Structure 1
Amino acid sequence: MIRWNVVLAGGIGSRFWPLSTPARPKQLLPLVTDAPMLRDTLDRLRPSAPPERTLVLTNAELRDAILALEPTLPPENVVAEPRPAGTCAALAWAASLIARRDGPEAVMVCTHADWAIGDVPQFRDTLDRAAETAATTHALVTVGIVPSRPDTGFGYIQPGTAIESAPGAAGEVRRVARFVEKPDQARATQMVADGFLWNSGIFAWRVGDLLEEIAALTPEVQPALVAAGTNLERFFADVQSIAIDVGVLERSARVLVLAGQFGWDDVGTWAALHRVRQHDGQDNAMSGPTYALAASGNVVHAEGTQVVLYGVNDLVVVAREGLVMVTTREHAANLKTLLDAMPAEVREP
């Protein structure tokens, strides 16, 4: 099996304002460890495919920064999208590129650059099994995370009937019965009790199988893919924006799910860092020059300035030179409201 790793590393991470900027988005920030999140992602994937079989899909503005972060990547393997067009367009282009280089039987394993992973060996083992399943069944395989809580911020997958002929333990690989968009709290609680899985965005498939399904099911992408040939600019100029889940997976009868349990977290907000960072003795998740007394449950990220907390709980404090942002962990998920209301000279100093 020829395996490629494909990392989605676009976007600017506006929910990590004021640290995340278009020139330095969250995937290039040291939010979970002392290394940028993309650096951690590439290190996790490195044993399974060499740099010449690793693609990073990103914004045109970030190409140089990513090559500086990972100089072993061939420049042509950092795919700079001229404009955002959704995950379906990005992954379709990646599949066509891989097919041209290594043929339709090559397997691509897709991850995102902004995750925290607790058990890296188990993560790698799960991705290996997903790749093997895709290679042997010609299915589109997604990894569903066994939930640790009813979370309204994630989509969910309902596993269906078991595929006994798939690699691994009996019943481990199942058909996807349905995808469910982000639910309310009551529904999330019930789905966790019923055995639903979180929709992680981890995928594995033979590139030829994905391209077949796009040709049959995704008119938003297929005409542009055919017309563009090898011209990336033309493809992104013509393609319609759509997510891979909506454009392919929800329309396909060839989707399987493999359950994964390896401490996965989609680090989507400042509050999420309380789940994935180490805590001090007062249950604070702090990074940088900080000090806390009689304070608990806080998330603090300080760059270039000291932060002192006294007698406060469950706050998010982000400090950099010239600017300090303070909110609560509850409100940190909705920074868009703040950014929309803020004067431009504060929002973009």
Structure 2
Amino acid sequence: MSNYSSGFRDMQKPPTWRELLGSIIRDPQERQRIASDLGVRTITLMRWANGESNPRLQTLHQLLGVLPHYRETFLELIHEEFPDFSELQDEESVQSQPALIPAEFYTRVLRTLANIPKVLRFASLGDLILQQALKHLDPHRLGLAIIVARCLSPSHEEKVRSLRESIGRGLPPWENDLEQHAILLGAESLAGNTVISARLIVNQKLNENSSLSPGYHGVWEESAAAAPITLEGKIAGSLLVSSTQPDYFLPSRQTLVQDYADLIALAFSPEDFYEPECIELGVMPPQRVQQPYLTGFRQRLVDTMLQAARNHQPITITQAEQLAWQNIEEKLLQVSFQSEEG
């Protein structure tokens, strides 16, 4: 918890959410960041903190997502001023959120699919669908991240051993482009369990160690849902959706996650799908353990392509990426094995 929160606990008089906000926005950079993420002016934040005006309740819920480290403190203090705060959010959010993907968006996807070259299909359709899913699943911008974790093509005709985070988009507090933070996922992850079971899986409270649902608590994540990406009974990976809000994935949102997973299957090629018996995910170490192996990834690609050229067997950047990820996967599986042995 922050220094602000611990400082407030030492005060005799309990603080209000406005006092907490006022303390946080004393930092000009933080004030500007919060205002930008909420889509308001900095003077508006100051008026809220001074009690000169009231934000809309849905904006208060956005505030929880923009300041995830203060979430529990804010939630308790806001509830003191607005007793119906939690209940109103669920009702407003669900009622204002369309239950189906708009028909016109399906038309746009099919038109894009018909007009783009195959080499651009995954990137173009992936970005188009993820951006739409972000707006649809999080219309009030409370904080959402969506990642496509695709099966990493096995080397030497072996089974699929991991999933690679290949494309991702987010709303604050996440960055919009999440690809630079890509890691490998395995049987320990929510996405991995979804691929193994070939069904949608939800964890509504990632920060509770006692939860029986798979998955682990990442930065800013409070709840998550993952749906398999399938075609004719084969699996290409998983669509992983994370929220800053606990218990966010109500049945209607779960249906939408699966619908978007079915739609994004159009971005894949037939050879990207694997029979379930060809998938045997291993356990991948946490992100902090993977990071040293991922550092310098771009340089590794260049070196791989140069070496292939020297051997008079030139390869494309896509083939070089595949080889580099397979090499990282092999090392990380060994790390996990040694950790289990130790």
Q: Which has the higher contact order (CA 8 A, sep 6+)?
A: 1
TM over 0.5: no
Give the TM-score taking structure 2 as reference length. 0.25
**Rg larger in structure:** 2
Could you say which structure has the higher helix fraction?
2
Give the TM-score taking structure 1 as reference length. 0.25
